[in-house]
Chains A and B, each alone.
Chain A
Amino acid sequence: MGLLLLIPILLPIIAGIHILKKNYEDRADRERFVSRAVILNAVIVIVMALFLRGQEGVLLPIIPGNPIAFKLDNLGALFAGMVSLLWILCIYYAFEYMKHEGDENRFFGFYVMTFGVMMGISFAANLVTLYLFYEFLTLANIPLVMHGDSIQAKTATRIYIIFSIFGAALALCGIAMIAFTGGGSTAFVPGGALKGVVAGATVIQIAFLFTFFGFGVKSAIMPFHAWLPCASVAPTPVSALLHAVAVVKAGVFAIARVTYFTIGPDLLRGTIAQNVALAACIVTIVYGSAMALMSQHLKRRLAYSTVSQLSYILFGIVLMSTDGYLGGMVHLFGHAIVKITLFLCAGAIIYKTGREYVWELKGIGKAMPVTMIVFTIASFALVGIPPLPGFFSKWFLTAATISSQGSMLAYIGLVALGVSALLTAVYLFSICANAFMPGEGFDYEAANKDVSDPNRYMTVPLITLAVAIILFGLLISPMINILSL
């Protein structure tokens, strides 16, 4: 039964290859195929997430003790379910958006393929399988990052390759250490497979740091964050779905797997390794927000914001307590829907007006009301106004810090969260304020002539996401129940 999990992994990959081979001439044909494939796959994933939890299956014994194996546990099911729903919204958005980018067959081919790879990451039953899909994620993303073929796109691709491959190699070294000290296996066990197998050894700390910074490359931890702002040259559906949700959260997801399912927080609590990781998170939280404030390019600003927000999640994870883990995971899901919304709004603006800089958005709220209202809701959510998602994350993270009674660093982390929230408010609300209140005597007609909201392909996903953001609070307690280790 466990090998049924291969279906949602392989189906999008085959569909993607089909799109690349078939090279659709007609846009409607391709859209029909893409939407059917993605919706079918999402339905399969959700059905499996509901009914097949706990199933596992072994596919290939590539390495002794570490076969390619799949398992559907609660964290994986939740992650896969969220990714699937967001994928559906994003393809409809992309149908409209990609009209002005061109070369859509290649784009949708790899966009759909990435869906399957993400399912592989969610369903992996051990670190080697996770690593396999992690590498494939890097590769499947290369054509998407360099889609525009501009000089910036080529530079961004180069930087992306350098960071991702080096990070994966570091992570692999860490995995090899974990496998060696843990007696060969790296299978996921809630609470840590190594718990009780090894006493707190230096090797484990080194292994944790290797995997933390190795997988951390994808989630843009300092000093490996530089690729993410560069990669914002990619088409908006890529920035939104992959560089705010799927790819970057794959990094976070992998770190959560290492910390809470392989090594186990007990072996790491209070060690130097934990402090190093905490320090990296704190620096990244503040640095990302500060850089976001200084960036005038809208997508770059959002990308730096992602850099900062991802470290909120990592901060929760490396608190090495169940509360910290839950706080991190709540933020993982909350940030996913909020940041994808912000990016899609930014994309709608770029699509309709071609404007990419913050100062060009004066008074745009009147011309594109739906887009900007959704943007404002998402901004409130990210800053953390109750009862929107950001509030819950911050609540849980604060509670976890205090209850974990960790080192000084954890409290410094709280200060960093506060500073970052302030910066977030400034860099997001300044956009909203400018858009709706450009000042006395602003000439709306001249500034935003012929600008209007995009068509329903874009607005329906935006409104859906806004509703999801508002209702997110209702999901918190079931989510916590499911995720508890």
Chain B
Amino acid sequence: MGIAIILLLLIGAVVAWNCKNDQTARKIGLVVTAINAVLAVVMTVSVMNSGPQVLALGSGIGQQIINIGYIECFMACLFGIVGFLIVWASMSMISHDVEEKLIPMFYGLVLALLGTLNAVVFFESLLGVFISIELSSFAAAGIVIVKNQTENVHAGLKYLSLSILGSSLVLMGMVLLYVATGSLQIGGIAKVLQGSGFMAEKSAYVLWAYGLITGGVAFKAALFPCHIWLPDAHGTAPSPSSAILSSLVLKAYIVFYMKMVFGGVGFDLIANSPMRILLNVVMVVGVIAMIAGSVLAIMQTDIKRMIAYSSVAQMGYIFMGIGIGTEAGLFAALFHILSHAVTKSGLFLVAGSIIEQTHNRDLNKMGGLGKLMPVTMALFTIGGLSMIGIPLFVGFNSKWNFASAIVGSSNYWLLIPLSISALLNALYYLPVVIRAFFGQEAKECTEPLGSKERPIKDILPIILLACLVILFGVAAGPVSDFITKGIQALAAIGG
């Protein structure tokens, strides 16, 4: 079924792109993402019932294996459901940012992007993964450039060039791994790497290979200080694009990296081999990203750039979780992928609504907005509280998972940056909320309540995203169990 999802999205992309009429393209976008969401859920149910689905195409070195296990299903559902909600929200927002004649192209690119992201996650063969990564880079840059303003073109090109730098580093790492292990499948690599004595003998090879892949993924997933493209790209792109880029695109590369590290090297070797050094570096850089991203976010005055820098900080959390290198750390990182995806996509769409209705991006001029757009600002508040980590919102579960992972791995010093980071998150989300609802401007605001609110049917998808934030905040149990199963499967790859 994995291949069906990829093909559906890619064919949808071609059809949408070739539409003459922007209305038809919108409908195709909506219908295809809806079907994709349903397929992803159906696939998840069938994997839960009858185990992983493996499809092998061809043989020999070019053999392509598509292996749909728990983590793949988790990501497919995320791409499917969050992608659908964002595309739904874009129906009413996109014409604000994108010219009518480019709208078919926009939906074509979005569908192509979702298709390739799914492929990045589904393929077990490094060749297939690499091709998907490259294709997704172009589609991702495309949905930035499609706004067709000078700043977008600049941002998009910056994104594309650094993205290609990233993928070439990944490619070099893959080649090195192939030379060392003679396999291009994650499973095959795992068997060789985790075989007795291999790591002791060839640790330099492996370390170089993983170092290059880490560097490449750092660029693709905007790990500080390789994030320099992200604020420009996410800050200037059309808001639905920003939502997709931050909540979904970054995550696909991270999941690939997790599969390479935890599937390929395995938890045991990570704890007892030179790989530990590499992951320590990842952990420390993740911590720096967590703090630096938030500090940079506090300094912003543009709402979308602030949210974009917040993503840099959140990527830091995820890399810190990976760097901890235990199952609890990986669990925290995977859960945070979900948590960040539902929260951040909502925040970007809210920012888009605010900009569309008030033609203002400046955070300092948003005083009293709570009176004009009460529902929209309430949604922003939910997102902000989740980011700070208030209980009942999904961000709290993330924070708890990270704290537990840190305690479990005895890296107690990490608790201090974790606390500081929670504080920093509060320092850029709460003032916006406070100014909107309580400040002097709110008292002086004379326009009638709700006068700038968008119609409820247009913000319904954002409301649904906020519901997901609360749903996963109060009932994270089932999805946590699912992720745990995925981690067990990953740990078992090397046998």
| Residues on A facing B (Cβ under 8 Å) | 60-64, 68, 103, 106, 128, 131-132, 135-136, 139, 142-143, 146, 149, 157, 161-162, 165-166, 168-170, 172-173, 176-177, 179-181, 203, 206, 210
Contact = CB atoms under 8 A, between A and B. Distances in A.
A169 B389 contact: yes
A-B pairs, top 8 by smallest CB distance, nearest first, are A176-B403, A169-B419, A132-B391, A169-B422, A173-B415, A165-B426, A166-B423, A180-B407
B401 to A, nearest CB: 9
Contacts of B422: 165-166, 168-169, 172
Interface string B464-485: 0000000001111100100000
Contacts of B403: 172-173, 176-177
B418 A103 contact: no
Contacts of B176: none
B470 to A, nearest CB: 11
B430 interface: yes
B423 A62 contact: no
B415 A210 contact: yes
Contacts of B419: 166, 169-170, 172-173
Nearest to A132: B391
Interface of B: 385, 388-392, 396-397, 399-400, 403-404, 406-408, 412, 415, 418-420, 422-423, 426-427, 430, 434, 437-440, 443, 473-477, 480
B476 A169 contact: no
A146 B392 contact: no
Given A149-B443, A166-B422, A169-B419, A176 B474 contact: no
A203 B407 contact: yes
Nearest to B422: A169
Contact of A106 (B415, B438, B440): B438
Contacts of B443: 103, 149
B480 A142 contact: no
Given A131-B391, A177-B403, 8 more contacts: A60-B474, A62-B473, A62-B474, A128-B391, A162-B426, A168-B422, A169-B399, A176-B407
A149 B390 contact: no
Nearest to A60: B474
B475 A64 contact: no
A362 B423 CA distance: 44
A157 B404 contact: no
Nearest to B440: A149
A62 B476 contact: yes
Contacts of B412: 206
B168 to A, nearest CB: 39
A142 B430 contact: yes
Q: Which of B438, B474, B476: most chain A Cβ within 10 A?
A: B438
B434 A139 contact: no
A132 B439 CA distance: 26
Nearest to A135: B390
B388 A61 contact: no
B407 A165 contact: no
Nearest to B385: A139
A70 B221 CA distance: 42
Nearest to B423: A166
A139 B390 contact: yes
A162 B423 contact: yes
A131 B399 CA distance: 13
A136 B391 CA distance: 9
B434 A176 contact: no
A440 to B, nearest CB: 48
Q: Which of A132, A168, A179: most chain B Cβ within 10 A?
A: A168
A177 B430 CA distance: 27
A155 to B, nearest CB: 13
Contacts of A61: 475, 477
A173 to B, nearest CB: 4
A334 B209 CA distance: 67
A166 B420 contact: yes
A63 B392 CA distance: 10
A206 to B, nearest CB: 6
B476 to A, nearest CB: 7
B171 to A, nearest CB: 40
A176 B427 contact: no
A176 B391 contact: no
Contacts of A106: 438
Contacts of A143: 434, 437-438
A157 B433 CA distance: 13
Nearest to A179: B404
A176 B407 CA distance: 7
Contacts of A103: 443
Contact of B404 (A146, A176, A206): A176
A166 B403 CA distance: 14
Given A62-B392, A62-B476, A203-B407, A172 B400 contact: yes
B434 A157 contact: yes
Nearest to A147: B438
A63 B434 contact: no
B475 A60 contact: yes
A210 B476 CA distance: 26
Contacts of B423: 162, 165-166, 169
Nearest to A63: B400
Q: Which of B412, B443, B475: most chain A Cβ within 10 A?
A: B412
Contacts of B426: 161-162, 165
Q: Which of B419, B437, B480: most chain A Cβ within 10 A?
A: B419
Contacts of A161: 426-427, 430
A173 B422 CA distance: 11
B330 to A, nearest CB: 17
